[in-house]
Amino acid sequence: MMSRRTSYSMTSLGIGNFLSSFLLSTVSRITRRPGHNGWILNNLNKSHLDYYYAFFAILNFILYLAVSRFYVYKAEGSSEKIKALKRAQNLSMFRVYVKDLDQIIIRTTTIPLEIGRLSELLDLRLYNNSLTNAVPYQLSNLKKVRHVDLSSNYLEAPNYKKFTPLPSVTYLSLFLNSLVSEFPPFILNCRNLTYIDLSQNTLTGPIPDSLATNLPSLQYLNLSYNLFSGPIPKSLSNLSRLQDLRIGYNNFTGGIPTEIGSISNLRVLELQNNSLGGQVPASIGQLKMLEHINLSNASLNSTIPLELGLCSNLNFLDFSINQLRGGLPGAALSGLKKMSQFGISNASLTGEIPWDAITTWTDLESLELQDNSLTGSISSGIGRLSNLTYLFLFNNQLSGMIPKEIGNLTNLLQLDLSTNSFTGPIPPTIGNLKQLTLLNLFYNNLTGTLPVEIGDMVSVQTIDINTNQLHGELPVSLADLKNLQFLSVFTNNFSGSIPRDLGQNTVLTYVGFSNNSFTGELPPGICNGFSLDHITLDDNNFSGPLPDCLKNCSNLTRARLEGNQFTGDISEAFGVHPQLLYLDLSRNQFTGKLSPNWGKYESLTYLDVEGNKITGNIPPELGNLTNLQYLSLASNDLTGPIPAKLADLGLLFKLNLSNNRLSGEIPPQIGKMSQLQQLDLSGNSLHGSIPIELGNLDKLISLDMSDDGLSGSIPKEIGNLLNLLILDLSTNSLTGPIPPTIGNMKRLSIFNLFKNNLTGTLPVEIGDLKYLQIIDIHSNQFDGMLPSSLVYLENLKILSVNMNNFSDEKLNQTVQAKQLLSESGISLDRQN
């Protein structure tokens, strides 16, 4: 036997080697032609094995398509299998075939009409099979069926008139289908039902008032996630056996009926996400068996009834997103000893938290009271809630110190005390929270240093302590947090350097150090995991080059490094960042040239490198940043022309190229930048005239081209800038008159034309600019008299006209507008 296996093995290997050699030699011979050596050569470096394997891959794919095209699945038809199942006489035989029935349904995607022939069927479960079309009325023939589960399909509403009662059914589930109708009327005739789930459909209209009368045995009713409307029927109180009532996420109105307190066996009550309005009825206290109540987002305007404390079995309560007047009634809450999850967030609560009551809930796992107006402090008794996993008290008016006993909550997973008025230090006992994943303490008035024990929180992923008054250096133990992903400490008084090993042992995605007094270089491994998507370091005293790992952070979306002393070649500081949205490197000491590769940051919306030592030309590739909205290259040492390609930045609303050494003419293509609101080209070495195309920038509110060496006249098209607030063309070599179209710019506030060679008179139309506060036209060659229309400029504060050729010598000075006009015989009192 062993030798036979060996011979078979060797034979198959031999045949395989023969076929392989045959294919190689055949392909080599066929592909060899004059001037070409073929695909298969003795020298593998010169062979084309890529062609060889690509050819056989395509050939295999074609063969696969051919075989699959003619393959016929030989499955027994649905009708034949249904007929076979009809012969099942008892439940045990049926259970043998039920799997086979599921297979039929999956293949046909609809429920076969022949299913009505299964007259002996007791249990029908076809859930989660992607079934479509209407529910067949033939199901009505299953007179013995007790359990019907058609949930999680795509079934549609049938013609209910053809349905007859199912006298034996006790369980009916049609949840998560595509039923669009009112409440299915045939259900009301299935009088033995104890369980109904119609949730997650598109059912409309009211709950039938006869439901309680017709279905007296009902124990579970779930109509949630539909479009039911109207009031909740008072008759539901007659369902004496009902234990579970879930009708949330509908359009019910008319308040919570007082009669609901009569459903004595009720354990679960869910009315959330309706527009009920009204009060929380005191009759809730009669539901002695109640364990779970959810009234969130129900438009309630109520107090919390004291009778709620009588629901001693309650372990889940959510009254969030309502208008609950007053505070939390401690007398009522003290009776809820079994409470596990308690949430009343965003509900307008006031007053203090009744800690004496809450700290007796030893089973409490979740306490969520955020987004209210609660006052007072956190009791030291909170340390008794040893099972607490979620504590959310953010966005209240809580004050005082964070008690050290919070360190006793060793099961805590998330702690959020942000946006309050807590004071004092962060207690060192916080290091006991070994399972904590989220720590939010931002927007408080915390003082002191960050405790070194924070490094003991081995599970923490998020630490956000921004906007406090913390000081000192960050503890070195931060670098030990291997699960840390999000670290935000901005807007504090921290100083010193960042721990050098931060980022070496973890995969940081967010770091925020802005608005502190940090110094030194960034940790070399801060982005070692290459997952960093958000880094904000602005307004510190960081220095040195950026870490090399930053180049490899391909997920980077936001980088704010402005207001530091970073150095290095700006073209080498960044790599490929296809998702980068925001980049601010302004007010640093970067050198080098702008990289053409930045034109590949296709998602970029904000780019600011103002106030560095950058040289060279503006790369035209920046015009490829078609999502860019803000671009500032000001206050560098850039030279060369303004690239016409920048006109492709169709979404740009601010362009600042001021205070460089740019030369050449202003490209007229700038007039195509239809969204531009602010344009600053001042302080360069430009020449030529002002392009008339600038008149197309109808959204422009600020135009500064001062100190640029421009010549020629002011184009009349400038009057098309109807939204302009600031116009500064000063310190140029402009000639000719001010065009009368200046009067069209009704919103203009600042008008600077000083130090030019402008001539003529000040146009009378300037009196139409009623919002003007500053007119500065000194050091030109204007003549004549000031127009009397200036009297209408009620907001004018500065009028500077000296060093011109006006006929009145009193005008050769810069004074307050009222004095100058008065001395010129023009009264600021309105004249008729």
Q: Smallest Cα–Cα separation from 629: which of 652, 610, 648?
A: 652
DSSP state of 36: B
Find all residues with CB under 8 Å of 21, minimum gap 6, and list them: none
pLDDT of residue 103: 40
| Residue 96 pLDDT greater than 60, yes or no | no
- CA distance linking residue 443 with residue 672, whole number of Å: 44
| Residue 87 pLDDT greater than 60, yes or no | no
The answer to whether residues 127 and 149 touch, using CB atoms and an 8 Å cutoff, is yes
Where do the structural domains in the chain lie, given as residue ranges?
38-71, 586-823
CA distances 26 to 29, 38, 60, 74, Å, are 5, 11, 18, 40
| Residue 612 pLDDT greater than 60, yes or no | yes
pLDDT of residue 99: 40
Q: Indicate the range of 104-118, 535-549, 636-650, 815-829 predicted with least confidence.
A: 815-829
Radius of gyration of the chain (CA): 40
Question: How would residue 93 be classed by pLDDT, with cut points 50, 70 and 90?
Answer: very low
In CATH terms, the fold of domain 586-823 is 3.80.10
Q: Indicate the range of 360-369, 462-471, 806-815 predicted with least confidence.
A: 806-815
Tell me what the pLDDT averaged over the chain comes to.
88
- CA distance linking residue 206 with residue 230, whole number of Å: 5
State the average pLDDT over residues 602-620: 96
Residues 279-312: tens digit of each pLDDT: 999 999 999 999 999 999 999 999 999 999 999 9
pLDDT of residue 554: 85
666 or 103, which is more confident: 666
State the average pLDDT over residues 527-549: 91
- CA distance linking residue 675 with residue 656, whole number of Å: 14
pLDDT of residue 791: 86
Q: Smallest Cα–Cα separation from 826: which of 786, 796, 798?
A: 786
pLDDT of residue 527: 86
Question: How would residue 807 be classed by pLDDT, with cut points 50, 70 and 90?
Answer: confident
pLDDT of residue 29: 67
Share of the chain above pLDDT 70, in %: 86
The answer to whether residues 327 and 349 touch, using CB atoms and an 8 Å cutoff, is yes
Residues 102-114: tens digit of each pLDDT: 444 444 588 998 9
| Residue 585 pLDDT greater than 60, yes or no | yes
State the average pLDDT over residues 760-769: 92
pLDDT of residue 528: 84
Q: If you average pLDDT over each of 51-65, 91-105, 592-606, which comes out highest? A: 592-606
86-113: b or e for each residue (b if 16 or more CB lie within 10 Å)?
eebeeeeebeebbeebeebbeeeeebbe
State the average pLDDT over residues 371-390: 97
| Residue 79 pLDDT greater than 80, yes or no | no
| Residue 72 pLDDT greater than 60, yes or no | no
| Residue 826 pLDDT greater than 60, yes or no | no
- pTM, 2 dp: 0.82
Q: At 125, which helix (H) or strand (E)?
A: strand 123-125
Which residue's entry shows tokens 């492709």? 648
Q: At what angle do helices 78-86 and 91-108 cross, to 10 degrees?
A: 170
| Residue 670 pLDDT greater than 90, yes or no | yes
Residues 443-487: tens digit of each pLDDT: 999 999 999 999 999 999 999 999 999 999 999 999 999 999 999
The separation between the first and the last C-alpha atoms of the chain, rounded to the nearest angstrom, is: 125
76 or 183, which is more confident: 183
Sign of CA dihedral 418, 423, 426, 427: negative
pLDDT of residue 98: 42
State the average pLDDT over residues 647-659: 96
Longest dimension (CA), the chain: 128
Residues 390-445: tens digit of each pLDDT: 999 999 999 999 999 999 999 999 999 999 999 999 999 999 999 999 999 999 99
Query: Within 109-249, where are the H helices?
Result: 211-214
State the average pLDDT over residues 797-803: 92
142 or 100, which is more confident: 142
Residues 242-251: tens digit of each pLDDT: 999 999 999 9
702-716: b or e for each residue (b if 16 or more CB lie within 10 Å)?
bbbbbbbebbeebbe
- CA distance linking residue 666 with residue 688, whole number of Å: 7
State the average pLDDT over residues 664-681: 96
